[in-house]
Chain A
Amino acid sequence: MITVNNRDELSWHDGMTVQDILDVMGYTYVLIMVTVNGVLVHSEDYSGTKVPDEADVRVIHIMHGG
């Protein structure tokens, strides 16, 4: 099980990547920053970064518009 934004829980599976999490959560926003266990993941590494079980994942949407 991993936690997203200190609230939502997702089932973990072997090989799960940051991009998998964004897809499951439906996060299509362009201005986002992702950390896994406090470490920043750059956008070009979303598909290649594997997320460990029990990870604390933060997907911060930087506000725009409004």
Chain B
Amino acid sequence: MIMADKISIVINGKPREIPEGTFLLDAVRKEGITVPTLCHHKDLMPSGTCRLCICEIEVRGKKKLVTACNYPVREPLEVWTDSETVTRHRRILAEMYLGRWPNVRAVREIAGLCGVSESRFKGRYTEEDPQSCILCGHCVRACREFALERILDFAGRGIHRHIAMPFNEVDPHCIGCTSCAYVCPTGAIQIVDDLNQPVDPQMIRDHGMKVNAEMANLDPVQCRMREVGTANIVDVMNQYDLLPVKNYKYGSHPEVWKIDSKMLKAKYFTQNMPDGCWKGCSMACAKTIDDFELRTGPYKGQKVCVDGPEYETAAGGSNMGCFDADFIAEFNFYCDTYGIDTISAATTIAFVMECFENGVIDTGVTGGLELNFGSGDEVLELLHQMARGEGFGVDVGQGIRWLKDKWENEYGADRKFMDDIGMETKGLEVSEYVTKESLAQQCGYGMAIKGPQHDEAWLIFMDMVNNELPTYEHKAEALHYFPLWRTWFGLYGLCKLCWNDVVPADNKMTSEPQKVPDHVNNYFKFVEGMTGIKLDEQKMLDQSARVYNLQRVMSRMLGYGTRRDDYMPYRALGPVTAEEYESRQDRYDKQLREIVGVDPEGRSTSEKIKILRDYREDQYDKTVSVVYRRRGWDDNGVPTVERLKELGIDLPELVAIVEKNRG
């Protein structure tokens, strides 16, 4: 992370150090100095329009007047916020504003701050309406910065300048997000109706606008969701050795730069603009590649629009050893076009590739396809076969669990090896994160009700990097709270991304920053504003737990939902092969020595793999037991009758199922 250098400045005679690039207005206000403004808004980019924030500065021996709100401090300077020149300018400005809009409260207050109570400039252009538009431009900037639109703008010149939609007509692109009304300081823009008749629309707006403001101001320095979408995680995962490479054998690769967010932004995301799933979304993390020329398949030679790639699709590329963004874009397009999940396809094919390279299958099985890691052309041919229902593609389309059974039964393939490296649980392929060094994340995947996807509990950083979950009980608490919280999004049909893909600037000052408490509260207020029902953490957890436990019982009805279904292939827990162990030998040897208590000196790699495996599998097993207890499940992973009663879902048919499967 690159941190800003400090700059020495003098504010009204007091020396101060501020981060380079700080706007002068922010620096002086931090000192408790009052500077009048009309056009400034804390959540909008400064524009310097009203000129009331004018200050006198001296830089390199030269004095001048600058608008403090949009003056970034980049070199040492001295500033006077209330010199005689400054005061004179401000008084004249205030008098002019008061002459034009004498009854607007915001103007009167500012005039008062400047010591002005009467104006010499009253005349035929004076507007007496207390809710007059004062041309501050808040609405224009909010439309651009919050809603990513340009519905409103200035029109006319001089005294005829005003705010308007294009051609003074109601623009059909306006979705009524109300951002403009929210930031209007005078009431010139009013909301005249509330769709869907929410109980408290203002409550919804108050909290929604906070997210909008955070996206406008913080996203560019946080996750860059508007700029590159979820692809930003490719770079992060590679840096932390968490990006799946070659069927999750490794967590990083020197060629990642060919598919990372910098490459995608520079050469692929042709729109290079925020693009929401739905109009009005201020996160707008969807990304698109226009005019992408396909080189294979039924649309070969045609230029198409690719919706993506998102992180999981790009990481699916690395998982197949394909560090080629052209390939990833084409894979993305055809998966979407055929209705094939990019994660399941990539993870299955990565498994097929490792089996091919290890002689589990050969070209006789693959129909001649040389499916080595990195063979993008063969992957695309396989994808087309899958969609056409032909050849080897028919088998691969069934997924890893089916392939393991077939290859064992028909070719006598090594079942243990396939079980170790076939990244599926409950028949669903694992999504694209390497979990070897995070026990909590292994369980987050393994114990997820519908299979190993990451939207129940994504705990890698909390556990592996931060060491915030050092005990089984800590892990169990996280594996209780986060799956319920994330299930709650599904209950209400709300997007998860504005929970933690942007966080408030002061989130780190809260007692539980990982939960992003302010954003959790936003969601509660959205529900309360819409329905009138007040929520808190316990009520949320209870609502979610009813659904979560019902899902678990339904899993049992479908033949899953017990302890044996919650285990992960060993590849998710640790190194299966010698090449994997030896690629991170220092790390594993250190763990053997310091955590397991075994001296690795003089031991063979296979011996060390075995010792590490026994240890890690035991750890996994113990964690599962503690998590079950925390969730109110028995040792077989089945909800207890007491838990069903507690949640008010002890229907006779559900009780019968849990009684039958008691551990």
Contact = CB atoms under 8 A, between A and B. Distances in A.
B507 interface: yes
Contact of A65 (B230, B470, B503, B508): B230
Contact of A63 (B311, B459, B508, B509): B459
A30 B223 contact: yes
B433 to A, nearest CB: 8
B613 to A, nearest CB: 22
Interface in B428-478: 433, 454-455, 458-462, 465-468, 470
A65 B285 CA distance: 12
A44 interface: yes
Interface stretch (B2-10, B138-146, B208-216): B2-10
B223 A7 contact: no
A62 B500 contact: yes
Contacts of A7: 467
B239 A28 contact: yes
Given A43-B1, A65-B501, A30 B466 contact: no
B598 interface: no
B498 to A, nearest CB: 11
A66 B455 contact: yes
Interface string A28-41: 11111100000010
A58 to B, nearest CB: 8
Contact of B221 (A30, A32, A58, A64): A30
A62 B516 contact: yes
A28 B311 CA distance: 18
Interface of A: 5-7, 19, 22, 26-33, 40, 43-44, 46-48, 58-66
Contacts of B460: 63, 66
Interface in B195-228: 221-223
Given A30-B1, A43-B1, A65-B501, A60 B468 contact: yes
A64 B501 CA distance: 5
A60 to B, nearest CB: 5
A62 B507 contact: yes
B236 interface: yes
Contacts of A33: 508, 513
A46 B3 contact: yes
B4 A44 contact: yes
Given A33-B513, A46-B3, A66-B454, A59 B311 contact: no
Contacts of A32: 1
Nearest to A46: B3
A64 B467 contact: no
Contact of A61 (B4, B466, B507): B466
Given A47-B3, A64-B503, 17 more contacts: A5-B465, A6-B470, A26-B239, A30-B223, A33-B513, A43-B1, A59-B465, A61-B461, A61-B462, A62-B507, A62-B508, A63-B458, A63-B460, A65-B223, A65-B230, A65-B458, A66-B433
A61 B223 CA distance: 13
Nearest to B433: A66
Given A44-B6, A48-B6, A65 B311 contact: yes
Interface of B: 1, 3-6, 19, 221-223, 230, 232-233, 236, 239-240, 311, 433, 454-455, 458-462, 465-468, 470, 500-501, 503, 507-509, 513-514, 516
Contacts of B501: 64-65
Contacts of B470: 6
Interface centre among A43, A60, A63 (most CB of B within 10 A): A63
A62 B221 CA distance: 14
A10 to B, nearest CB: 14
B431 to A, nearest CB: 9
B388 to A, nearest CB: 34
Nearest to B453: A66
A29 B516 contact: no
A62 B467 CA distance: 12
A60 B513 contact: yes
Nearest to A65: B233
21 contacts: A6-B467, A7-B467, A19-B3, A27-B1, A27-B465, A29-B240, A30-B221, A30-B223, A43-B3, A59-B465, A61-B461, A61-B465, A62-B513, A63-B458, A63-B462, A63-B514, A64-B222, A64-B223, A65-B232, A65-B458, A66-B458
Contacts of A62: 461, 500, 503, 507-508, 513-514, 516
